[in-house]
Amino acid sequence: MPRDRTSGQWRCCGWSPAFRGDRLPRSQAMRDEHLIPRHTAESRVVTDRIQVVLELTSRLNLLRHGELEARTALLAEILGRPVPETLTLYPPFYCDYGLNLEFGEHVFVNQNCSFYDLGGITIGDRTMIGPGVTLLTAGHPVDPTERFAGITTAPIVIESNVWIGANATITPGVHIGSGSVLAAGAVVAKDVPANCLVTSGGHVKRRDLNPANSPALGVPGVAPASPEAPATCQRVHH
């Protein structure tokens, strides 16, 4: 489990609504999805920090492969603290916040990975991450009536000895147990127990949503959908 760190003035979003550097306790953070409302002091902090990190990652990805010292220095700026000496990370690399991203020892990250860490990402010791992996800790409310209210965040926790295959995607709030393997291309939206192999393909319809022009959004003259009406999306196999 990560150590609490209080040195970064930015490290608040998804962890501390009081704007201190403190993180929420891990159990609480995993239990509660956090909403960052639009047009608030918190959202302005997020926006400012994202601009800083976009500039830093742009500079990182322009370096020659052999410029290890410069790469390490830029990663330290992105993370807001020294980079573990045993971390191997190959650019290009993308993230949006940096200060809520924590690496264990002997972690390997291959090329073209995107770690969107606004909600917090913890990566355990000896974890291997293949090329093109995406870790997402932020999103928006699902209901169209609330979707533009702000950004929702929930942390991702990856325990030790995990292997994540190429182009896998992990969504907000997921906990990956120690020793597990996520196959290439897997989309993981729920917790994975320790020491198991996970694959995925296709997508499954979960529920209907109110369309943007429905009476639920206050548009006159549009009748609500009948319960017997055919579904607008179905399961698709890839």
Confidence of residue 210 (pLDDT cuts 50, 70, 90): confident
pLDDT tens column, 39-49? 999 999 999 99
Helix runs in 32-187, H state only: 41-60, 68-79
Identify the pLDDT of residue 164.
97
Asked if the structure places residue 228 within a domain, the reply is no
- Under 8 Å between Cβ of 10 and 80: yes
pTM higher than the cut 0.85: no
- The answer to whether 176 and 195 are in contact (CB under 8 A) is no
Q: Is 140 a catalytic residue?
A: yes
Catalytically annotated residue among 39, 65, 106, 140: 140
Residue 74 maps to a domain: yes
The strand pairing partners of 115, in sequence order, are 95, 135
pLDDT of residue 206: 62
Average pLDDT, the chain: 81
Q: Looking at 103-107, 189-193, 219-223, which range is the least confident one?
A: 219-223
Joined together, the tokens standing for residue 158 give 């990856």
Neighbours of 23 (CB within 10 A): 22
> Does residue 18 sit within a domain?
no
Tell me the residue range of the domain where 133 lies: 26-207
pLDDT tier at 17, thresholds 50, 70, 90: very low
Domains contained in the chain, number: 1
- pLDDT tier at 213 (50, 70, 90 boundaries)? low
The answer to the question of residue 216 being in a domain is no
Among the ranges 152-166, 194-208, 210-224, which has the highest mean pLDDT value? Answer: 152-166
CATH number for 92: 2.160.10.10
